[in-house]
Amino acid sequence: MPKEIIIRDSEGDGEWWEITIPAYNKKFVDDLKREVPPSCRRWDPQMLAWVVLDAWMPRVEELLVVCFPEAEVSWYE
């Protein structure tokens, strides 16, 4: 089964995106915390997903490609 990253519109307005990654990846978490300000990201323990402000999604996408090079990305609005 291929690894999949799921990105969903968290609140239905395109402002916050929920990112579900296929497995814990220390590099991704460390990079995300270093690159994206705390006010622009949060961990959702119920959904087991990161929630990131839209303005930071281009940088997050770059981190995902580096940390999960073989994963397939699915976007849901």
Q: What is the pLDDT of residue 1?
A: 45
Domains and CATH numbers, the chain: 4-76 (3.30.780)
d(CA 30, CA 19): 15
DSSP string, 49-70: EEEEEGGGHHHHHHHHHHH-TT
The predicted pLDDT at position 2 comes to 60
Quick one: pLDDT at residue 6? 96
Give mean pLDDT in consecutive 10-residue pieces for the chain, a chain of 77 residues: 86 94 95 98 96 98 95 90
What pLDDT score does 8 carry?
A: 96
Give CA–CA dist 10/12, Å, rounded.
6
Can you give the pLDDT at residue 77?
77
